[in-house]
Structure 1
Amino acid sequence: MNWSIALAALWGVAANVLAMLPSKDNHWTRAYILVAVGIPILGYVTYENGPWIGLLVLAAGMSMLRWPVIYLGRWLRRRI
């Protein structure tokens, strides 16, 4: 296992731990932080392992942060 995959796995564990902790703002602040940290990790994974592994890691991240993805899709649909 290389460092990029290990960082992505660590990001996934951190996302799950943060989801278990109570939050007053429905976890939106944590979601923004996870997105800001996850995008460079996704780029690093894609750079080291290729686009197919990058797409798998992207799908895993989108499954953990599904509500920001749903709201982004709704916003884009309204704009089009």
Structure 2
Amino acid sequence: MALSLILACLWLVAANVLGMIPSKDNMWTRAYALIAVGIPLLGFVTYQNGPWIGLLFLVAGMSVLRWPVRYLFVWIKRQFGRADPS
């Protein structure tokens, strides 16, 4: 197994363990740290194993970090949504 896949699986396990520990800030600090580590790791996985495996791990990471992804989509929708006709 490639080093990038081992690291990505460890990232997924760490993300799940961190999600089980209670937090005062609703896990946002941990989410930012996981995103900061996960984006370069996703690039490494894609580089070593191809775009389909990279896409698979992107979906897996999005399922773990679903609230930050949801807020990102809401923000994008607000930015590019229809302007108020008034």
Shared fold (TM-score, shorter chain, > 0.5): yes
- Output the TM-score relative to the length of structure 1: 0.99
Deviating 4+ runs (over 4 angstroms): none
Which residue pairs with 1:9 in the alignment?
A: 9
Q: Which has the higher helix share?
A: 1
Structure 2: give runs of 5+ residues left out of the alignment: 81-86
C-alpha distance in 1 between matches for 2:64 and 2:20: 12
* Residue matched to 2:18: 18
Name the structure 2 match of 1:50.
Answer: 50
C-alpha distance after superposition, 1:48-75 (max 9, x if no partner): 0000000000000000000000000000
Q: TM-score, length-normalised on structure 2?
A: 0.92
For structure 1, which runs of at least 5 residues remain unmatched after alignment? none
CA distance in 2, matches of 1:22, 1:52: 34
Q: Does 1:73 align with 2:50?
A: no
Q: What is the root-mean-square deviation in Å for CA atoms of aligned residues?
A: 0.4
1:47 Cα offset (Å): 0.1
Answer with 1 or 2: which has the greater Rg.
Answer: 2
Cα displacement string for residues 26-54 of structure 1 (whole angstroms, at most 9, x for unaligned residues): 00000000000000110000000000000
**Residue identity in the other structure for 1:26:** N
